[in-house]
Structure 1
Amino acid sequence: MILSPARLRALLTALLLVSLLGALDHTIVASSLATVAGELGGLEQMSWMIVAYTLASTVAMPVFGRLGDLYGRRGLFLTSLAVFLVGSVLCGFTQDMTQLAGARVFQGIGGAGVQLLSQTIIADVVAPRQRAKYQGIIGAAFPIAIVIGPLAGGLITDSVGWRWIFWVNAPLGLLALLLAVRNIPKTGRSAAAGTFDVPGAVLLGIATTGLVLAVTWGGSLLSWTSPALLAIVAVTVLSSIAFFVVEARAEHPLVPLGIFRSRVVVIATILASVVGIGLFSVVSYLPAYIQMMYRTTATVAGLVPVASVLGMLVTSLLSGFVVARSGRYRIFPILGTAAGAAGLAGMSLITDHVPLWLPMGLMAVVGLGTGAFMQLVVVIVQGVTDQSALGAVTSAVNVVRQIGSTVATAVVGGVFALRLVEGLPGTVDARTLTPNLLHTLPSATQAQVADAYSSAMSPIFLALAAVYAVGFVAALLLPHTELSNELQHTPAESEALSI
């Protein structure tokens, strides 16, 4: 359906606002974790503020993708946004960590819907070539949220209380809801509409839940050899196998396995995992790494990940506008993965003897490289997928990136902690070491701590550079094709679209 420029701008504003709310919810909460846990008396359950949202979002995303394909996206998007807003309000009223975790699950389900459906609604109304530009604009919400989220969370928590980090979603969300009601076109049932794949959804939910819990609890709440963790892993493996068996036989599968016969879809999925594993997994550890190695303030250390995020923002927008003009996209994943690999390889050589601007510049290169293809992977898979499976293929890319980030973050944290403990001098206790304590230690000991941090992170950076190198090889296999500049719909959708 071709929308008027004014209506398209209004729709884009609504989708961008909703995407920003969803992205901020991941970052704004971080600054208030300690405060919330202290007030609600649940320090040992603090991680559930993050885990509950991530888990619910990951499980719900493929469900929303397929439901949108089968029954239309407008009503589903509006419902998801309403669920997200209700969940946000409930979070602010909770009285203990158990209630908060439950409300975060509710909020995460709604957040998954609005995040995924924002990307597929654009695909319904914009030709593949032009999607690159609009997906780049919508995707800008994530790097913006990384920059302003922690600061906004801290300011809100310190000024009016932590409950407002959730309640602030209400007025902005209601504005987005009003814009969405007025501007999202209605769609009818897809030509492939049928019974929803409940067995597939249940099995994928079990497998995803098991995977997230295994990597979140492994080595912390549960030892790697504990019977409980081994049971979780076994259930995850068995449910994953059963899922693929069911999907191969389902009439209307949750994830149509046929989409992976396309070389482009497979490569784009690999590139999505590169983003989650290669960059998202390490960004959260960078401030502590820089702060301890350079003995600097938290504010200064925070500039390093900010450099990567700003780089990501620039190339995400730039690549989108260039592809919208030419239709050619292959060069961006190739150059982007090469830049990411080079930047992380350079980070593996960093010591406290080099100036701070060097790691900042290297991470900016990683961000520039990642941004060049981060949003394009969605456009690429949508461009080669039938309209009846847009939601399924878009959710597949997003879920792979999210699971890759979750798993890799846990692995990076575990490896980093283990190597750090081994490298610290015997006079320093890793459990009590803080930046303030570091400044009170003798200069020689401070240098040893800096070397320990450098030695702990160096092989991690090198391993993540190898991940980008794999992405580079995959990107070279992309075909020399152009995105279409025509919007096509299935016959049923063409009849059902209305203003």
Structure 2
Amino acid sequence: MNAPTGAAKPLPDKTPLTHKDLRLLVIGALLPVFIGSMDNTILATALPTIGRDLNDVHNLPWLITIFLLASTACMPLYGKIADIHGRRPTLRVAIVIHLVGAMICALSSSMVMLIFGRIVQGIGAAGLTSIPVVVLGDVAAPKERGKYSAYFAVTYTTAGALGPALGGFLSDYLHWTAIFWLALPLDLLALFVTSRLLRRLPRYERPHRLDLIGALLIVVATVSFMLGLNLAGASDAWTSAPILLLFATAAAVAGLFVRRLVTAPEPLIPLAILKHPIVRWATIANGVGWSAIAGLNIFLPIYLQTVVGMSPTDAGLSPIVLMVSLNVSAGIGGQVLCRVTHYKALPTAGLMVSIGAVILLGLWADQLTPLTFQVLLLLIGAGFGPTPSMSSVVVQNVVERHQFGVASGTMNFSRNLFSTILIAILGALDWPRHRRSRRAPAASLPARCRRAAPRPPTHSDACSMRSPPALRLRSLLLL
């Protein structure tokens, strides 16, 4: 760990990787991604049930926010540790941590214990979703990285889409604790798969050292900032002393972290990576785009369930069109990126389409027909699809191989940071409104919904009813 910094040298391989070896490595890397991504959204439709069972509705947003907070704070550490100790052992440790967190959640009898379990889960999930990106960069040639990055995007978004539906089904027909019991066999399977299939992963000497001071500073800064965002507007005013203290602490510690980046012998995130314009802009584009997708995945099912009155299962199915279109677009985009020279044109055009669809959704959500609503979700997903592959490929192509871990960790950290900021702000602004809307009498609903009161609202009713200001605000913030 304390060896001097130097260039990474590949250790001699007995035999080159065959196509079968490469396929097995990809499978072994993507299963942890599936588990970690599904944990981001699987609780969205189960939150009301959990709140009623534990008799604590006020702290429900913490179950999502604290998970993202823990995973966000730990992502840069996993990238650096993977560069030092190797991808496979670091990934296995992350899986074990996630498994322990799932057990704590499954056995929880109070909201405090459940939140603690989500913290442990988040720490493990940080490695599940960040290290596999490094693995794919290790085994794929630069020209083929677009295709394999598309596999990652498809897996990540598929799991995110299945999460709300699966969580709603389990909480409807079994019990909300089944969500966490399900994680146990999945984690054990991932541990077995990574132990067996990643044995052929190319190994490199990594003469790095972990900057523990820098790691502590970035964790404290991230946690302070996210706590301030989550508490502001919910339990405390934005200008209250505790909130201002948290934000001041975050700013001061972030300043110390920046200073540490300049003065440390080997900083947690090398300055050369941060200064590179390609890395900088690709990271921003990737982070902002994923935050919009995460916001829709989490808040659209919650809105449809708590305000409209849809069942957890039906509400969980609402983002399916968005995710399917994103997956198809990501797969096509990854193949195209492997065959073209000017790879910026496709993601740029796609983002313009996605931005246009979000503008329409934000301005006229209360006037859209069900079909138009679904078409806009389709355009948002299809437009954003090529961006993750392009971002990952260009970053890995401009950094040294021995810095793949820290570069990918920086991208994933930014992605989760943007997502956590968005979710924390929307949770603080909209969650009280959702609770009030749920208690509102039927007379406050549109006439068409009042006439349909004896039956549960369908997805068509949910999409065509007039939206409250919260949905309009959410759409504009996602833009």
TM-score range, shorter chain: 0.7 to 0.9
Q: Is the 8 A contact 1:281 1:406 kept in 2?
A: no
Q: Is the 8 A contact 2:61 2:427 kept in 1?
A: no
Worse overlay, 123-132 or 42-51: 42-51
Distance 1:188 1:285, change over 3 A: closer
1:305 partnered with 2:319: yes
Q: Which amino acid in structure 2 is aligned with residue 357 of structure 1?
A: L
| Partners of 2:181 and 2:156 in 1: CA distance | 20
Q: Which amino acid in structure 2 is aligned with residue 382 of structure 1?
A: Q
| Partners of 1:100 and 1:289 in 2: CA distance | 23
| Partners of 2:209 and 2:368 in 1: CA distance | 61
Q: Is the 8 A contact 1:84 1:108 kept in 2?
A: yes
Match of 1:103 in 2: 117
Unaligned runs of 5+ in 1: 422-429, 466-499
Q: Is the 8 A contact 1:289 1:453 kept in 2?
A: no
1:187 partnered with 2:187: no
Distance 1:180 1:455, change over 3 A: closer
Q: Which amino acid in structure 1 is aligned with residue 272 of structure 2?
A: G
1:333 partnered with 2:347: yes
Identify which of 128, 131, 134 aligns with 1:120: 134
Q: Which amino acid in structure 2 is aligned with residue 75 of structure 1?
A: P
Aligned ranges 1:275-290 → 2 under 5 Å: 275-287=289-301
Number of aligned residues: 451
Identify which of 103, 114, 118 aligns with 1:89: 103
SS in structure 2 opposite 1:145?
helix
Q: Is the 8 A contact 1:11 1:179 kept in 2?
A: no
Render the CA deviation track for 1:108-142: whole Å, top value 9, x for unaligned. 11111121111101111111221221221122223
Match of 1:196 in 2: 210
Q: Which amino acid in structure 1 is aligned with residue 122 of structure 2?
A: G
Q: Which amino acid in structure 1 is aligned with residue 408 of structure 2?
A: T
Distance 1:82 1:358, change over 3 A: same
| Partners of 1:415 and 1:366 in 2: CA distance | 24
| Partners of 2:182 and 2:431 in 1: CA distance | 36
Shift of 1:11: 1.9
Match of 2:178 in 1: 164
Percentage of identical aligned residues: 29
Shift of 1:252: 1.3
| Partners of 1:413 and 1:50 in 2: CA distance | 10
Shift of 1:288: 6.4
Shift of 1:178: 1.9
Match of 1:208 in 2: 222
Shift of 1:403: 1.1
Match of 1:131 in 2: 145
Distance 1:167 1:256, change over 3 A: same
Distance 1:363 1:438, change over 3 A: farther
Q: Is the 8 A contact 2:366 2:467 kept in 1?
A: no
Q: Is the 8 A contact 2:151 2:331 kept in 1?
A: yes
Match of 1:426 in 2: none
Shift of 1:78: 1.4
Identify which of 367, 378, 382 aligns with 2:381: 367
Match of 2:8 in 1: none
| Partners of 1:231 and 1:324 in 2: CA distance | 49
1:358 partnered with 2:367: no
Shift of 1:301: 6.8
Match of 1:411 in 2: 425
Match of 1:433 in 2: 437
Q: Is the 8 A contact 1:74 1:186 kept in 2?
A: no
| Partners of 1:122 and 1:31 in 2: CA distance | 32
* TM-score normalised by L of structure 1: 0.81
Match of 2:266 in 1: 252
Match of 2:447 in 1: 443
Worse overlay, 317-326 or 115-124: 317-326
Worse overlay, 435-444 or 395-404: 435-444
Unaligned runs of 5+ in 2: 1-12, 451-463
Match of 1:497 in 2: none
SS in structure 1 opposite 2:83?
helix
Match of 1:264 in 2: 278
Q: Is the 8 A contact 1:304 1:363 kept in 2?
A: no
1:16 partnered with 2:20: no
Render the CA deviation track for 1:406-430: whole Å, top value 9, x for unaligned. 2123334556689xx8xxxxxxxx8
* TM-score normalised by L of structure 2: 0.84
1:241 partnered with 2:245: no
Worse overlay, 309-318 or 133-142: 133-142
Shift of 1:386: 0.8
Render the CA deviation track for 1:60-99: whole Å, top value 9, x for unaligned. 1100101111232221111111222232223222333322
CA RMSD of superposed structures (Å):
3.1
Worse overlay, 161-170 or 273-282: 273-282
Q: Which amino acid in structure 2 is aligned with residue 6 of structure 1?
A: K
Match of 1:386 in 2: 400
